[in-house]
Structure 1
Amino acid sequence: MKINRIITIIMILLQREKVSGKELAEKLNVSLRTIYRDIQVIESAGIPIITYTGNTGGISILKNYKISKGLFTKEDIIILLKGLNLLDSPVLKENENSITLEKIKSFLSEQELDEIVNNLNQLSIDLSSWFSKQNINKKIAIIKLALKEQQVLSCDYLAVKNKQTSRLIEPYQLIFKEKEWYLHAFCLNRNDFRIFKLSKMSNIRQTNTKFIRQTIPEAFSSFKQDIKKRIFKIKLLIDESLLERILDYCDEKDINQLNDQQYIVNFDFIDDDYGYGILLSLGHKCICLEPEYVRTEMIQRTEKMAHCYRTNNNLFM
């Protein structure tokens, strides 16, 4: 994009005493004519440019120009590179991001680069899953292209009660939240914005239909309000062997040591299959102490589970 190229040129000129038009053209993979047109745009924006002719000629920004190198400090460049490192993760990786990353690094001296690389190595972001996620990368690639080109997607979606539905959607936003990928989109079938879980989407195809962007509402807003109303505390007794896992769900302040091997946990709980599924996943070294009706429900669910393992017929009755 032109604006990205112009910003890149400004960054180079701020970091370098002088640079030739030929070098800029090679770095940015454009013609020398394009570089000089960009330089005119930079000058028209009020940044004083000086050009030198001859074998030692080149382009520079006036030395006493008031913004000098303060436009992009070392901290600014660190923020830019951290953002590009995120976009360069295995899931979101794009060639353009890698090229831009290398361009920004090329502005720096060897000493500055070593210092910044050490800073960047303090933060590593990997959005890929430990387990296979149904070709999630391929789904993301299709959605990213549709987002870029503002094209309607068609897909099959596994809705509530495992009902398979066909959808036409206008994609607006990819969201990664709590180990899962979601798509915030306008559903043409429901005539409203919806959140689609990528793991429930299949046969995603890009159509040839363009759409005009609408004002997008806040993602998960109604869901957050619903969860806030439904969540409440239950009291658990856990063995110390579960301490590491329980920290995935609650803060340290909610965990109190009872004795050398046991802890009392004030646990945020939602009274549905998801909530009981978490308790069941903690196994026999976790017991709900209160409220009583949650204890009763856990007994019924574990008895049904035991029955399924003991019998060869009617497993899921």
Structure 2
Amino acid sequence: MKINRIITIIMVLLQREKISGKELAEKLNVSLRTIYRDIQVIEGAGIPIITYQGSAGGISILKNYKISKGLFTKEDVIVLLKGLNLLSSPILNEDENVRTLEKIKSLLSKHDLNQVRNDLSQLTVDLSPWLSKQNINNKISIIKEAINKQLRLSCEYIKLKNKQDSRLIESYKLIFKEKEWYLQAFCLSRNDFRLFKLSKMSNIKITNTKFIKQTTPDALSSFEKDMEKRVFKIKLLIDNSILERILDYCDEQDLHKLNDKQYIVDFNFIDDDYSYGILMSFGHQCICLEPEYVRKEMIERTKKLINSYKKNDNLFLSNYYLK
């Protein structure tokens, strides 16, 4: 990870009088060109770098230089540490995270470090789900390797209406959006960039075929524009017993108290199976008031659910108890 590598370079340069670019590249397992790009970033941050030519040459920080408060203040370091806490799992593995955290902490005095620890204790980020689900961490690990090595991935992907097909893709960026992980990738079969939901990806394998990176479009802009066009408000009548759950999907300003037991809710809705599934998950404590066609569709879906239970009830129970 770039921030991890740059901090490592700064720490090495502060501890050693001089080091060659080749040695840095070997230590960090990157190209010499990458090292010199990182050195430019460090210089841009205000750290005075000196390079020496020839066989005894190398890279060093100006003698007696110390990191000034103008470069990394205590507040800056807190931001860095909080950011790493946000990325602690599953983007960074445990070893990477511990090493980077310790390097950043070394920029602080003992007194300031205690204050930072108190500040960090007020924030906990855990991206894992409450209930157990498929191993997203393993998928992310494979995808990260493919991104770093610029190797194509093959996978199976479930499309709309549960149709599954094989995809060959070039991975660019992992994205965490609204409780779900996505991958921005160039799809060879569609000849275009796509967002792939990790939960719908299976049998992910790294191929031996390298790819040349293209200029990537904004990962979410087209998706968000499409969503904005599809979203509209519906009115719900809800029981106050599901108020807490409703707030997972809307804001307090969308709630209008009707009486001590009921609320009218202006609810963001998209006319698809996913949104109807959300409404049905609220059970009888939620009724759609308008528009009329959404209300009728909810009635039809409820009827189908009841009929499905009635139709299969006796057959299912008899077969179940015969096992």
Q: Calculate the TM-score normalised by the size of structure 2.
A: 0.79
Shift of 1:123: 2.0
8 Å contact from structure 2 (residues 90, 140) kept in 1: no
- SS of equivalent to 1:264: strand
Query: 1:88-110: CA deviations, max 9, x gaps?
Result: 22564342232111122133222
- SS of equivalent to 2:214: coil
Query: 1:49-99: CA deviations, max 9, x gaps?
Result: 1xxxxxxxxxx327xxxx733211111111111122222225643422321
In structure 1, the partner of 2:104 is 104
Distance 1:146 1:20, change over 3 A: closer
Alignment of 1:1-317 (within 5 A): 3-9=6-12, 42-44=49-51, 48-49=62-63, 60-61=64-65, 68-90=68-90, 92-312=92-312
Q: For 1:305 and 1:256, locate their aligned partners in 2 and report how far apart those are by CA, in whole Å.
A: 30
Shift of 1:3: 4.2
Q: Which moved more, 1:164-173 or 1:107-116?
A: 107-116
Shift of 1:184: 0.5
Distance 1:20 1:146, change over 3 A: closer
Q: What percent identity do the matched residue pairs reach? A: 65
* Number of residue pairs the alignment of both structures matches: 280
8 Å contact from structure 1 (residues 142, 206) kept in 2: yes
Shift of 1:148: 1.0
Q: Calculate the TM-score normalised by the size of structure 1.
A: 0.80
Q: For 1:306 and 1:282, locate their aligned partners in 2 and report how far apart those are by CA, in whole Å.
A: 16
Distance 1:194 1:125, change over 3 A: same
Shift of 1:118: 1.2
Unaligned 5+ runs, structure 2: 18-23, 28-38, 40-47, 52-58, 317-323
8 Å contact from structure 1 (residues 91, 127) kept in 2: no
8 Å contact from structure 1 (residues 88, 98) kept in 2: no
Distance 1:252 1:84, change over 3 A: same
Shift of 1:153: 0.7
Query: 1:168-225: CA deviations, max 9, x gaps?
Result: 1100011111111111000111111111111111111111111111111112333322
In structure 2, the partner of 1:24 is none
Q: For 2:8 and 2:99, locate their aligned partners in 1 and report how far apart those are by CA, in whole Å.
A: 12
Unaligned 5+ runs, structure 1: 14-18, 22-27, 31-37, 50-59
